[in-house]
A = this chain, B = another copy of it.
Amino acid sequence: MIEDKNQQRTQLSDLGEFGLIDHLTKNFKIKQKSTIKGVGDDAAVLEFNKKKLVVTTDLLIEGVHFDLSYVPLKHLGYKAVVVNLSDVYAMNAIATQVTVSIAVSNRFPLEALEDLYAGIETAANIYNIDIVGGDTTSSTTGLLISVTAIGEVEDDNEVYRNGAKPNDLLVVTGDLGAAYMGLQILEREKEVYKVNPNNQPDLEPYSYLMERQLKPEARKDIIKLLKDLEVKPTSMIDISDGLSSEIIHLCKQSNVGCDLYESKIPLDPQVISTCEEFNIDSTTVALNGGEDYELLFTISQADFPKIKANPNFTVIGFIKEANDGIDLVTRAETKIPIKAQGWKSIND
């Protein structure tokens, strides 16, 4: 919300025909042994011996998935990559390559795209993935970003959504609802800014919420941890749309039911206090907020001792037979059927 009036602006048209791509991709370095050829030909070339590959893709559109009035472009680039990697990790796989396509309208100067790509590169470096291709084109309106991520998984280690069995435990990583509350804070501050552009917002009390919204991380660490603990989940999904949607996906695809315990849902103290401030129910936020990018998975009860002391994991529910339903067990011990919300992608 703080505009730098002296920002350098280079028109995209100044770069000439092929200059933009060269300019934006010149620093990409290959990190993965499986990347034989990255950017610069008709297609990237990858090589994997005796491994399965996973592929996932996401489309992010200005005005639908992000609002540039409060999302810095560098963060947007970072997030665009991370949300795709999250889908790879949700297969119990390790992400290795991405392709990134962008469409931009003339209102974006080169420096804006550089910021976006700086975020993309930062994510690639932190998650140790190669950027192996993409497409850059003009758009008639805003900015859009399409990312496809590729990952690898050894032997039969991949975990689908359809393997949950009755009596399995439902486990979630991290905590939920913070990204959604971060968005509420940003939207509130945007309204304040419209009224008084000189007002400097104090976002310090909401630092965790801001970070979860603007710079989410994918749980690569959990895939390593599960391997170290010798736990192979029976089913797994990442939480992009909200806990309730994801539980329904796991249950429907596994043909099981579930009891989710409201009292067990992990919430950060900032989520609880900000929900009080906004007078909204924190369970509703955790169930429907989305953008947490935590992993939700089921394990056989035999694996419980391996995860129970670990602060990364919270057991939040119990898998039942399909005809027993998908229910929230409230703090008052009543059962309420869980309903999904949101718009869904094919692989998400």
Contact of A64 among B40, B138, B162 (CB under 8 A): B138
Contact of A135 among B134, B151, B348 (CB under 8 A): B348
Bound CA–CA A49/B152 (angstroms):
13
Given contacts A45-B53, A64-B138, contact A344 B21 (CB under 8 A): yes
Contact of A148 with B55 in the complex, beta carbons under 8 Å: yes
Mask, A46-83, CB within 8 Å of B = 1, is 11111111111111011111000000000000000000
Bound CA–CA A40/B348 (angstroms):
9
Given contacts A101-B59, A144-B144, contact A47 B52 (CB under 8 A): yes
Bound CA–CA A150/B43 (angstroms):
9
Contact of B144 with A141 in the complex, beta carbons under 8 Å: no
Given contacts A57-B146, A59-B103, A103-B61, contact A151 B43 (CB under 8 A): yes
Contact of A135 with B59 in the complex, beta carbons under 8 Å: yes
Given contacts A17-B341, A47-B52, A144-B103, contact A136 B57 (CB under 8 A): no
Bound CA–CA A141/B139 (angstroms):
11
Say which one of A91-99, A256-264, A312-320 lies at the interface with B: A91-99
Residue of A50, A148, A345 contacting most chain B CB atoms (<10 Å):
A148
* Chain A residues bordering chain B, tally (CB within 8 A): 78
Contact of B138 with A43 in the complex, beta carbons under 8 Å: no
B residues near A39, Cβ cutoff 8 Å: 346-347
Contact of A45 with B41 in the complex, beta carbons under 8 Å: no
Contact of B342 with A149 in the complex, beta carbons under 8 Å: no
Interface residues of A in 107-162 (CB under 8 A from B): 132-142, 144, 146, 148-151, 153, 158, 160-162
A44, CB-defined interface residue at 8 Å: yes
Contact of A17 with B343 in the complex, beta carbons under 8 Å: yes
Bound CA–CA A161/B39 (angstroms):
12
Closest chain B residue, CB of each to CB of A248: B18
Closest chain B residue, CB of each to CB of A295: B42
Contact of A42 with B161 in the complex, beta carbons under 8 Å: yes
Closest chain B residue, CB of each to CB of A84: B43
B residues near A133, Cβ cutoff 8 Å: 55-57, 346-347
Contact of A45 among B59, B91, B138, B146 (CB under 8 A): B91
Contact of A42 with B237 in the complex, beta carbons under 8 Å: yes
Closest chain B residue, CB of each to CB of A28: B346
Bound CA–CA A139/B96 (angstroms):
29
CB distance from A107 to the nearest CB of B (A): 14
Bound CA–CA A204/B48 (angstroms):
49
Contact of B36 with A134 in the complex, beta carbons under 8 Å: no
Contact of A42 among B40, B56, B140 (CB under 8 A): B56
B residues near A18, Cβ cutoff 8 Å: 340, 344
Q: List, sorted by A's number, 26 A–B pairs whose CB atoms are closer than 8 Å.
A: A17-B342, A41-B91, A42-B54, A42-B238, A43-B87, A43-B149, A43-B347, A44-B347, A45-B52, A45-B55, A49-B49, A49-B50, A50-B50, A53-B53, A55-B99, A55-B133, A57-B133, A57-B134, A57-B146, A57-B148, A59-B103, A59-B146, A99-B347, A133-B346, A136-B346, A139-B144
The 3 closest A-B pairs by CB, nearest first: A43-B56, A42-B90, A146-B146
